[in-house]
Amino acid sequence: MNAEQVMDFSNFPQAKRIGVLGFGGLGQAAAKVLAPKREMILVTVADKKGYAYSPEGLNAKECIATYHSQGSVGYLDIFGTLTNYSIQDLIESGHPVDGYFLALPNLPNDFIASVAQQFIKSGWRGVLVDAIKRTSAVEQLLKMKEELQAAGITYMTGCGATPGLLTAAAALAAQSYSEIHQVEITFGVGIANWEAYRATIREDIAHMPGYSTETARAMTDADVEALLDRTNGVLTLENMEHADDVMLELAGICPRDRVTVGGVVDTRNPKKPLSTNVKITGRTFEGKISTHTFTLGDETSMAANVCGPAFGYLKAGIGLHQRGIHGIFTAAEIMPKFVK
């Protein structure tokens, strides 16, 4: 094990060194979210063709401009490295990084789990956070609990908007009730150009009838364009396989079959087609049936509602790691911490 890879959080400066794996629309938004933060500093980003690392911090605007103009942050002057094995090479480089946000598409369905395995095998110790969606994908990670504990890794899973922010809201709202009858999550997403979020849109398509993670992954951009032309740019998703269910069940809130997730994604209009909300219906100790509703502001974008919570959970994970608590945790178990 590289000595540089064994991290002693007590010796770190106040600003934690953060990496972002994946530099599509979500990864670029994550870099923008981190830019003004004082408690976290972006030191590394990776895309398919390379990575960039600077111990003093990367300039998000320069990273994004380089990615768009040359196709990879690996071309970034001084700090860039071109490689077809960017994640593996970055992990094995031994560069000090306190925590990573895995802003990666989970296509195929075991991809995020395979990345976690790379971290385990490398000897790196720190905090990982993802915004993974599928129940089956989260279940794969949950099975790795003992491996993550032994590796000294604190892993926060399902920590985006849904699952994530709305799952946590459901867990909090459930405290009013003696029994939860239903948790209904409905989301609305509006983006001006689907190509800025290619991977996210493909993951959404994978939830549609007649599609799977394999078929969605195999679709060319032209295939996606053709599908969107047929639907006027709108994807309507119902009864999705969404990890909110297993997370709320694991937290003891309610059985997973009482959780439903669905929504509408407009790929040609930045305005949300409907408001994102979670409704928690239950019976109080007095025997009354009631519903709590938590609604996100329409002005907050998908990127804001995913990246903000992800870094809040990353901060919470760092706090756990400092206390020697390793393993895997979900957004329904741990409250995120606001990152200044």
282: its two tokens: 């239950």
Dihedral sign, Cα of residue 10, residue 13, residue 16, residue 17 = negative
DSSP type of residue 11: G
Backbone angles phi, psi at 157, to 5 degrees: -115, 150
With tokens 């200044």, the residue in question is 340
3-state secondary structure of 187: strand
Backbone angles phi, psi at 149, to 5 degrees: -60, -45
Instruction: Provide the residue type at 107 as one letter.
Output: L
Distance between CA atoms of 24 and 3, rounded to whole angstroms?
A: 32
CA 295 to chain centre: 20
Number of Cα atoms under 13 Å in the Cβ half of residue 106: 25
Distance between CA atoms of 240 and 159, rounded to whole angstroms?
A: 17
Annotated catalytic residues are: 133, 203, 207
Distance between CA atoms of 255 and 2, rounded to whole angstroms?
A: 44
Cβ-contact 155, 125 below 8 angstroms: no
Distance between CA atoms of 217 and 221, rounded to whole angstroms?
A: 10
Picking from 259, 217, 215, 209, the residue whose alpha carbon sits closest to that of residue 237 is: 209
